Chains A and B, each alone.
Chain A
Amino acid sequence: MIAFTDIVGMDLAKQALMLLAVDPSLGGVVIPSAVGSGKSTLARAFADILPDGTPFVELPLNVTEDRLIGGVDLEATLASGQRVVQHGVLSKAHKGVLYVDSLSLLDSSAVSHIMDAMSRGLVLVEREGLSEVHPANFMLVGTYDPSDGEVRMGLLDRIGIIVPFTAQNDYRARKKIVSIVMGTRDRDDTEDELRMLRGLIEAAKVQLSHVSMTNEQIKGLIQTAISLGVEGNRVDIFAIRAAIASAALAQRTEVEDEDLKLAMKLVLVPRATRMPEREATDEEMAQDEPPPPDEEQPEAEDENAPPDEPDADADEEQEETPDMIEELMMDAMETELPDNILNISLASKKKAKSGSRGEALNNRRGRFVRAQEGEMKSGKVALIPTLISAAPWQHSRRQDKKMAGRPAGALIINKEDVKIKKFRDKSGTLFIFMVDASGSMALNRMRQAKGAVASLLQNAYVHRDQVALISFRGKQAQVLLPPSQSVDRAKRELDVLPTGGGTPLASALFTGWETAKQARTKGISQIMFVMITDGRGNIPLQAAYDPNAEKAPKEELEKEIEALALSIQADGVASIVIDTQMNYLSRGEAPKLAQKLGGRYFYLPNAKAEQIVEAALS
């Protein structure tokens, strides 16, 4: 076990965890980080700096609903003859830590339950004849790899701190450091350091109620939240708490600039949905090459000793103006902007996974939802419902002569009592719409595509389907809408969809394929590409990274598309290609594409939205 103080690097994440230890009402810490960066080691080491005896519960990804929320403890119930309630994982984490590794892979219903528990501080158990309320006030510590997908925004909204994503390229070096440290350091040193750290946090907890914050400072944080387009009011409160906890950790009585900066960095900036006004527009940013990564880590090495800053002048604090806050904010932004916000935080964070919909009942897989009558062999027996249905008849069955000779007290269960567990498994189809937004597509086709996607989304509930939206234009394709069922979002995304530029068809296929693979890991097995294009790709894959590659010969382009299309077909993804090009202009690229994808081809020059939907659903 590697101790908290032995972990080298990840300073911001450590700082975040310390703030949480000081003020658990921050709700939790989420650490997005690449594989092997030591994020889970750090999260587990979090227990080191908490008071002894604090519960630390790790949530397995495959947790069942009854284990999560709580339910009847069957063994104890049968042994005692009385109903014995077993608390769920959420309630076991009460007054402690609930740790989830790979938070983004957690089942959507489990996420909903965690959200619900976090907003109440309680778990309501209303299942299998039980009606109970269990306390569940916990800190959620979650780690995940953003390449596995994003965490649901609703959940992030209840977690105070999101550690900005940093590309941890040097993780091997870091591991080495850890092992060197481990080899040479004295165990006692580690113990001493941990004790110091715990003392520091205890002192900060006491200090918490003595920290004051000026009105201007509160206003500044809120203004920042508004200019970053942060949704809701909950986050404002988290930001204020984080700033106060930071001041308390430094044993100060007043909140200072560095506390505000830290609060912005850990609470507000990661939730930005837009850049502050003076920044470039989204479109411009998307086209700009990301600047070289900035490896500078601010505010490092402060876990052993509090930053020993001289107290700020009280007068100075009084004169603090929003302008100054704005400066601070830009400062906080700039340190994080280069490799963090552009790639991870903006827009892509807005992903929402669809709810419990794309799911159907079955006998074997998924989440147990209810019990139904059925053959014992056809599935897993649901014991309690079986007992429930057998119970009322025990008396009369015992009277039955046929049953004579049975040991007294034995339960008599007949075939018709048997209840089988019904499971809910994600199923349904994911339609990935790939809309050609290049210059060669006329505007009215965009309207048709928009209409088709919106209609399909409205049908999605009935058909239990999900839709993703990818547009391609310019240098590369872009996921506008990850798999979702939200009409609102799809509409919004489509409304602002720009057109013009080249046709990066290969990139579209590649992006679609990636989206399909991700969906598969989440249990969606049927995937269909709906491509709305003229099929005239003229930008190679490489162009996204290498401007010189843009002028690739036509044969190479075709080869690239063919290879991708064949792989996609081999992967079992169904496709349809909807050609919207005028007859006299067509050179048959779209039919060719459909053929390579092994999919169907539709020629709908003046296609109506309904027709496209019909084609997709038939």
Chain B
Amino acid sequence: MTQTVKAAKKTSSAKAKATPEAKAKAPAQPKEKAPAVTKAAPEVKKPSSKKKQALAFPFTAIVGQEEMKLSLILNIIDPRIGGVLVMGHRGTGKSTTVRALAEVLPLITRVKDDIYNRTVEQYVEAESGKKGAAAINPEDVKTELIPVPVVDLPLGATEDRVCGTIDIEKALTSGVKAFEPGLLAQSNRGFLYIDEVNLLDDHLVDVLLDVAASGKNVVEREGISIRHPARFVLVGSGNPEEGELRPQLLDRFGLHARIITINDVSKRVDIVKRRREYDEDPEAYLKKCTREQQKLQKKIVAAQELLTQVSMDDKVLTDIARLCMNLGIDGHRGELTITRTAYAFAAYKGQTTVTMEHVKEIAGLCLRHRLRKDPLETVDAGEKIDRELAKVLGEAEVTA
């Protein structure tokens, strides 16, 4: 039986900082006197992108599937778009693409060794106000650059690992109550990826919905009371034939990319060749793609910077609203998503004004999953959107 003693792997340097939350909020337990809570810090977990340094197929070498790639890139440029749901055929590179994402992501600044990847402002704001804690001078806070974290949430994850829980080892051996952060903490300001998202257990879906809506993870369990920021870009993938996605979760995703099998022989030959070349010598292949990868990364960073300068004409906004109305989309998430996505798309193209041309290209991504489902409908959602879009554009031209 293969066994590894986990404790042996722990580094003492991990105890760098105390978890102020655990310290500050002594839980109110009615029945018993709360045990002394010490300053001991939970083990600092590195973002999982570092933990599993398994090589990934390069993002820029993925043939076709532009819709999925664009959706992911737009979400890097503006995380407020709200994530991507990638649904489609088996074996079309859904998870390969998402896992390849890590390599083209820009770097972010976080407080050094902060388990929640917080910025200095967030850190100071959260920690300064604590009872008994001295005010922190932002200039004293050490920072570091890390790649945007990509956290993989496996289907078999238990709730305690997702939300975080008490560190049982410390609790048992030293009677100390320390918080062990979960995947939600790791994914703050990054990407949270769920493969086969349509098969995720109900109770985990509930947790995700709750956290995604509030941007905060609140843990009240095993005598621990902690709240920490958990803002992440939710990326899910799956095959619709394996089961449907819960409507509330579906609605959470900003964009919905659809993937189908490529039926072009030469493209498929190309895919196979690239894959074989990669399999033969992954490192050499990655090296070959480095320039392309860096180019894309630069383009994304440039778009992020440009985003603040992008503007949109009121007329375009009116057209977007009319499109959503004509399609009978409930709520306002449709308009909001289109607007944000169009901004990001314009920035990605290096332009500072959003036009209906931009909207046209991304409307399907934003609205496809928001159309009301009509059981008797035989028209594809994408076609329906295109049709309405043409109408809106036509009208717009006439009135102009």
Instruction: Mark A residues whose CB is within 8 Å of B.
Output: 25, 65, 68-69, 73, 76, 80-87, 91-92, 108-109, 112-113, 115-116, 119-122, 124-133, 152-154, 157, 215, 218-219, 222-223, 225-226, 230-237, 240, 350, 352-357, 369-370, 384, 387-389, 391-397, 416, 424, 447, 450-455, 457-458, 460-461, 484-489, 491, 495, 609
A-B contacts besides A83-B5, A236-B271, A488-B240, 12 pairs, CB < 8 Å: A116-B155, A129-B168, A130-B161, A231-B89, A233-B271, A356-B202, A392-B171, A395-B35, A396-B34, A396-B35, A454-B376, A455-B375
27 A–B contacts from the bound complex (CB under 8 Å): A69-B156, A82-B7, A83-B5, A83-B169, A84-B3, A84-B5, A87-B2, A124-B156, A126-B156, A128-B160, A154-B242, A157-B91, A231-B90, A233-B92, A234-B91, A236-B268, A237-B276, A355-B199, A355-B242, A356-B200, A356-B202, A369-B158, A392-B171, A393-B35, A452-B375, A457-B244, A458-B244
Selecting from B13-21, B175-183, B285-293, the interface stretch reads B175-183
Query: In whole angstroms, how far apart are the Cα atoms of A135 and B188 in the complex?
Result: 27
Closest to A152 in B: B242
Indicate whether A92 sits within 8 Å of B261 (C-beta atoms), given known contacts A128-B158, A153-B241, A450-B376: no
B157 CB–A CB distance under 8 Å: yes
Of the candidates B95, B173, B376, the one having the most CB atoms from chain A within 10 angstroms of its own CB is B376
Q: A370 to B203, Cβ gap below 8 A?
A: yes
B198 CB–A CB distance under 8 Å: yes
Q: B375 to A451, Cβ gap below 8 A?
A: yes
Interface residues on B, range: 35 or more
Query: In whole angstroms, how far apart are the Cα atoms of A353 and B275 in the complex?
Result: 30
State which of B3, B169, B195 has its C-beta within 8 Å of the C-beta of A116: B195
Query: In whole angstroms, how far apart are the Cα atoms of A91 and B54 in the complex?
Result: 16
B223 CB–A CB distance under 8 Å: yes
Q: A87 to B91, Cβ gap below 8 A?
A: no
Closest to A454 in B: B375
Binary per-residue interface labels of chain B (255-277) against chain A in the complex, 1 for a CB within 8 Å, 0 otherwise? 00000011101001101110110
Q: How far is the CB of B137 from chain A (nearest CB, A)?
A: 33
B134 CB–A CB distance under 8 Å: no
Q: How far is the CB of B185 from chain A (nearest CB, A)?
A: 11
B201 CB–A CB distance under 8 Å: yes
Closest to B186 in A: A131
User: CB-CB < 8 A to B198: which residues of A?
Assistant: 355
State which of A83, A157, A489 has its C-beta within 8 Å of the C-beta of B168: A83
B51 CB–A CB distance under 8 Å: yes
User: CB-CB < 8 A to B32: which residues of A?
Assistant: 393, 396-397
Query: In whole angstroms, how far apart are the Cα atoms of A112 and B238 in the complex?
Result: 11
Query: In whole angstroms, how far apart are the Cα atoms of A147 and B200 in the complex?
Result: 29
User: CB-CB < 8 A to B160: which residues of A?
Assistant: 127-129
User: CB-CB < 8 A to B161: which residues of A?
Assistant: 126-131
Instruction: Mark B residues whose CB is within 8 Å of A.
Output: 1-7, 31-36, 45, 51-52, 54, 89-93, 95, 152-162, 165-169, 171-173, 175, 177, 180, 182-183, 195-196, 198-203, 222-223, 239-244, 246-247, 261-263, 265, 268-269, 271-273, 275-276, 279, 373, 375-376, 378
User: CB-CB < 8 A to B166: which residues of A?
Assistant: 129, 388, 391-392
Q: B375 to A240, Cβ gap below 8 A?
A: no
User: CB-CB < 8 A to B177: which residues of A?
Assistant: 392
Q: A127 to B158, Cβ gap below 8 A?
A: yes
Closest to A226 in B: B263
Q: How far is the CB of B47 from chain A (nearest CB, A)?
A: 12
Indicate whether A232 sits within 8 Å of B36 (C-beta atoms), given known contacts A87-B2, A127-B161: no
User: CB-CB < 8 A to A391: which residues of B?
Assistant: 166, 168, 171-172, 175
User: CB-CB < 8 A to A92: which residues of B?
Assistant: 2
Q: A82 to B5, Cβ gap below 8 A?
A: yes
State which of B6, B93, B272 has its C-beta within 8 Å of the C-beta of A240: B272
State which of B172, B269, B279, B375 has its C-beta within 8 Å of the C-beta of A450: B375
User: CB-CB < 8 A to B182: which residues of A?
Assistant: 126
Q: B242 to A352, Cβ gap below 8 A?
A: yes
A-B contact count (CB 8 A): 252
Of the candidates A215, A357, A489, the one having the most CB atoms from chain B within 10 angstroms of its own CB is A357
Q: A232 to B261, Cβ gap below 8 A?
A: yes
Q: B157 to A389, Cβ gap below 8 A?
A: no
User: CB-CB < 8 A to A157: which residues of B?
Assistant: 90-91
Closest to B151 in A: A126
Q: A609 to B375, Cβ gap below 8 A?
A: yes
Closest to B183 in A: A126
Q: B36 to A395, Cβ gap below 8 A?
A: yes
Of the candidates B159, B167, B242, B376, the one having the most CB atoms from chain A within 10 angstroms of its own CB is B242
Q: How far is the CB of B29 from chain A (nearest CB, A)?
A: 8
Closest to A424 in B: B201
Q: A127 to B157, Cβ gap below 8 A?
A: yes
Query: In whole angstroms, how far apart are the Cα atoms of A109 and B242 in the complex?
Result: 12
Q: B241 to A489, Cβ gap below 8 A?
A: yes
Query: In whole angstroms, how far apart are the Cα atoms of A68 and B155 in the complex?
Result: 13
Q: How far is the CB of A267 from chain B (nearest CB, A)?
A: 12
Q: How far is the CB of A150 from chain B (nearest CB, A)?
A: 12
Indicate whether A83 sits within 8 Å of B375 (C-beta atoms), given known contacts A394-B175, A488-B240: no
State which of B5, B200, B203, B244 has its C-beta within 8 Å of the C-beta of A80: B5
User: CB-CB < 8 A to B154: which residues of A?
Assistant: 113, 116, 124, 126
User: CB-CB < 8 A to A85: which residues of B?
Assistant: 3-6
Indicate whether A369 sits within 8 Å of B203 (C-beta atoms), given known contacts A126-B162, A232-B89: yes
Indicate whether A388 sits within 8 Å of B31 (C-beta atoms), given known contacts A130-B161, A233-B271, A370-B159: no
Query: In whole angstroms, how far apart are the Cα atoms of A119 and B92 in the complex?
Result: 12
Closest to A157 in B: B90
Q: How far is the CB of B2 from chain A (nearest CB, A)?
A: 5
Q: B223 to A352, Cβ gap below 8 A?
A: no
User: CB-CB < 8 A to B265: which residues of A?
Assistant: 219, 222-223, 226
Q: A237 to B375, Cβ gap below 8 A?
A: no
User: CB-CB < 8 A to B90: which residues of A?
Assistant: 153-154, 157, 231-232, 234
Q: B169 to A235, Cβ gap below 8 A?
A: no
Indicate whether A82 sits within 8 Å of B243 (C-beta atoms), given known contacts A124-B154, A416-B31: no
Q: A226 to B268, Cβ gap below 8 A?
A: yes
Query: In whole angstroms, how far apart are the Cα atoms of A84 and B165 in the complex?
Result: 18
User: CB-CB < 8 A to B165: which residues of A?
Assistant: 129, 388
User: CB-CB < 8 A to A389: which residues of B?
Assistant: 222-223
Q: A237 to B272, Cβ gap below 8 A?
A: yes
Closest to B29 in A: A393
Q: How far is the CB of B55 from chain A (nearest CB, A)?
A: 11
Indicate whether A91 sits within 8 Å of B199 (C-beta atoms), given known contacts A83-B168, A389-B222, A416-B31: no
Of the candidates B154, B167, B201, B202, the one having the most CB atoms from chain A within 10 angstroms of its own CB is B154
Query: In whole angstroms, how far apart are the Cα atoms of A130 and B164 in the complex?
Result: 10
Query: In whole angstroms, how far apart are the Cα atoms of A356 and B200 in the complex?
Result: 7
User: CB-CB < 8 A to A485: which residues of B?
Assistant: 243-244
Query: In whole angstroms, how far apart are the Cα atoms of A354 and B195 in the complex?
Result: 16
Query: In whole angstroms, how far apart are the Cα atoms of A86 and B268 in the complex?
Result: 42
Query: In whole angstroms, how far apart are the Cα atoms of A300 and B240 in the complex?
Result: 40
Q: A396 to B168, Cβ gap below 8 A?
A: no
Closest to B37 in A: A392
Closest to B172 in A: A391
Q: Which 10 A-B pairs have the closest CB atoms?
A: A232-B91, A454-B375, A234-B91, A391-B171, A355-B199, A355-B243, A126-B157, A127-B158, A126-B161, A157-B90
User: CB-CB < 8 A to B167: which residues of A?
Assistant: 129
User: CB-CB < 8 A to B2: which residues of A?
Assistant: 87, 91-92
Q: B173 to A388, Cβ gap below 8 A?
A: no
Query: In whole angstroms, how far apart are the Cα atoms of A231 and B91 in the complex?
Result: 7
State which of B91, B162, B200 has its C-beta within 8 Å of the C-beta of A235: B91
User: CB-CB < 8 A to A125: which residues of B?
Assistant: 156
Q: B199 to A112, Cβ gap below 8 A?
A: yes
Query: In whole angstroms, how far apart are the Cα atoms of A115 and B156 in the complex?
Result: 12
Query: In whole angstroms, how far apart are the Cα atoms of A91 and B165 in the complex?
Result: 25
Q: B95 to A119, Cβ gap below 8 A?
A: yes
State which of B158, B242, B279 has its C-beta within 8 Å of the C-beta of A25: B279
Query: In whole angstroms, how far apart are the Cα atoms of A236 and B262 in the complex?
Result: 12
Closest to B63 in A: A233
User: CB-CB < 8 A to A81: which residues of B?
Assistant: 172-173
